[in-house]
Every structure is written in structure tokens, then in C-alpha cells.
């Protein structure tokens, strides 16, 4: 696992965008898109590069990570609407190549199987962007999710529902969701996890330096060959080996001529 500790939130967005851009410039690519506030800066930076540096997403297919059960796509808080608003509608990614699980499907289990198969049929996700929940979840894989799980229906944890309540003023956060599984996420060629702020510091420590455990679902990334974790100083504050990660990154940057 590569750990990059940045000096600011802006730099986190730039670093993560660099990884996405490197793959997109190579030709047709499959991207995995996370919603949530963590990758917002990454999307803003990619949109800027699209507008100012001719970074095109015309040959990109995108799969989102998860969706609330029961919300139609048109709902303002569906992850389909969110990812369109925050990224897809601002670049030239063809809308018919934005693929998301349908949270309002009549048969949610069948929808989960369909979505998992669609990802496999696309080849694989080349770069998967991820955030992390305060309880260590990725996607909506809550603690105790199987490390081999595939896309399926999950029950949202209490902390996840209260963290996301701000997006549902006057309404209830759904109880259920569809999420790519930890096994599905692990199939991606590269994973880039972005974490910001002090309320993620404990989860980041458990993910990077704790045991591989279903109790911290993000720790599954320790088993991934190409996982990069990009942090601001607050999210990195509890890391025991922070000095080592900074030194390694400095040497790595020098090798790459940054």
C-alpha cells in the first residue's frame, strides 16, 4: 500500500487526479467512481483539467460504487444524481456509459447480481476511486462485510445513517443500499482512496496499520497490489509510520522527477 500524505486538501485532489489522468490519457478506460465529500476535490481537479488541459473522458466507461435502496435515479440524493452533478455532467463522459446500480429495482438481489456481472463484462475497473467512512467502510460495505463479498444488498450502519442525515433534511436516510462488494472492489486494477479530516484519522489508521479484518472493511486494500491512499494531514494524524511514508514519497517523487 502506498501512502501519500499531502500538505492540504487541494493537494489531495491534485494527487488523486494525477493517478486518474495517467490512466485516462492511455486510451479507453473503465473508472470506478465514489460519491461522498472525500473525492469532491478530485472531481473538481479533473473537471478543471478537462476544461483547461484537454483531458477527455469520451472513451471512459464509469461504474459507481453504491446506491441507496428505494431511491429513484431522479431523486436529488441518489448517487446517480450526485455523481452526475459533481462530475459526469461537467465533462464529456457519454451518459450512456455511466453505469450505476438501480436502487429502485423491484428485485434488488437480482439487480445486485446484474450489476456485478456488468462490471465483469466490462473487463475490469482500471482505477477505482474510494472514500472511507468513519467506521472504516468503503462503498457501503459496513464492518463485518465479507472480504470476498460481491455486489449485494446491505443494511446501513447507524453511524453511516447519522453521518449522511445532513443530505436528507426532513426525511429519513434509507435503511438499505446496494453496494459493490469488497471482492468486487478488489478486482480493480488500481485503487485510490482519498481521506480528509480528523474524523477519518482512526479509520485510516485501522485501514493502513491495523490487521486485515472485516471489522475495518477498508483494510481489505492491504491485500491489493496497487492501492494508493491519499491523505490530508488531519486524516494522517494517527499514523504511526507517518515519517516513513513521507520519506518514501519524497524518494518516489524524486525518482519520477516531480
For ligand GLP, the closer of residues 55 and 116 by Cβ is 116
Q: Which residue is it, cell 522527477?
A: 257
| Residue 209 CA: distances (Å) to CA of 32, 40, 82, 220 | 25, 26, 32, 12
* Catalytic one of 86, 142, 224, 232: 142
Partnered with residue 199 across adjacent β-strands are none
Partnered with residue 64 across adjacent β-strands are 33
Whose CA is closest to 83, among 47, 58, 114? 47
For ligand GLP, the closer of residues 55 and 192 by Cβ is 192
Question: How many residues belong to the site for ligand GLP (CB under 6 A)?
Answer: 14
* Catalytic one of 45, 67, 116, 137: 137
Q: Would you call 110 helix, strand, or coil by DSSP?
A: helix
Whether 169 contacts 104, CB under 8 Å: no
* Span of 15-23, 29-37, 50-58, 239-247 interacting with ligand GLP by CB under 6 A: 29-37
Residues 82-121 as x/- pattern, contact with ligand GLP by CB under 6 A: ----------------------------------------
Annotated catalytic residue 135: yes
Q: How far apart are alpha carbons 67 and 59 in whole angstroms?
A: 24
Q: How far apart are alpha carbons 152 and 34 in whole angstroms?
A: 16
Residue 63 is a binding residue for ligand GLP (CB under 6 A): no
Residue 37 is a binding residue for ligand GLP (CB under 6 A): yes
* Catalytic one of 111, 116, 135, 224: 135
Residue 174 is a binding residue for ligand GLP (CB under 6 A): no
Q: How far apart are alpha carbons 196 and 38 in whole angstroms?
A: 6
Residue 66 is a binding residue for ligand GLP (CB under 6 A): yes
Annotated catalytic residue 226: no
* Catalytic one of 66, 111, 126, 232: 66
For ligand GLP, the closer of residues 1 and 55 by Cβ is 1
Annotated catalytic residue 187: no
Q: How far apart are alpha carbons 25 and 33 in whole angstroms?
A: 17
Among 4, 34, 98, 207, binds ligand GLP (CB under 6 A): 34
Residues annotated as catalytic are 66, 135, 137, 142
Amino acid at each position: 500500500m502506498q501512502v501519500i500524505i499531502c500538505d492540504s486538501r487541494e493537494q489531495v485532489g491534485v494527487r488523486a487526479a494525477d493517478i486518474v489522468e495517467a490512466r485516462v490519457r492511455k486510451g479507453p478506460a473503465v473508472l470506478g467512481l465514489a460519491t461522498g465529500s472525500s473525492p469532491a476535490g478530485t472531481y473538481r481537479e479533473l473537471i478543471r483539467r478537462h476544461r483547461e488541459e484537454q483531458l477527455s473522458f469520451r472513451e471512459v466507461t464509469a461504474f459507481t460504487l453504491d446506491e441507496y435502496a428505494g431511491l429513484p435515479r431522479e431523486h436529488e440524493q441518489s448517487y446517480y444524481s450526485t455523481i452526475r452533478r459533481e462530475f459526469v455532467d461537467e465533462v464529456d463522459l457519454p451518459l450512456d456509459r455511466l453505469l450505476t446500480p438501480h436502487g429502485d429495482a423491484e428485485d434488488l438481489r437480482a439487480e445486485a447480481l446484474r450489476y456485478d456481472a456488468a462490471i465483469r463484462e466490462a473487463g475490469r475497473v482500471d482505477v477505482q476511486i474510494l472514500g472511507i467512512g468513519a467506521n472504516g467502510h468503503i462503498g457501503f460495505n459496513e464492518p463485518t462485510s465479507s472480504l470476498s463479498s460481491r455486489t449485494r444488498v446491505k443494511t446501513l450502519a447507524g453511524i453511516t445513517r447519522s453521518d449522511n442525515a445532513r443530505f436528507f433534511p426532513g426525511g429519513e436516510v434509507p435503511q438499505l443500499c446496494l453496494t459493490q462488494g469488497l471482492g468486487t472492489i478488489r478486482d480493480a486494477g488500481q485503487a485510490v482512496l482519498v481521506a480528509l479530516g480528523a474524523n477519518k484519522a482512526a479509520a485510516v489508521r485501522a485501514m493502513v496499520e491495523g490487521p486485515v479484518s472485516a471489522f475495518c472493511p477498508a483494510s481489505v486494500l492491504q491485500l491489493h497490489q496497487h492501492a494508493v491512499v491519499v491523505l490530508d494531514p488531519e486524516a494522517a494524524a494517527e499514523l504511526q509510520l507517518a515519517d516513513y511514508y513521507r520519506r518514501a514519497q519524497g524518494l518516489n517523487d524524486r525518482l519520477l522527477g516531480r
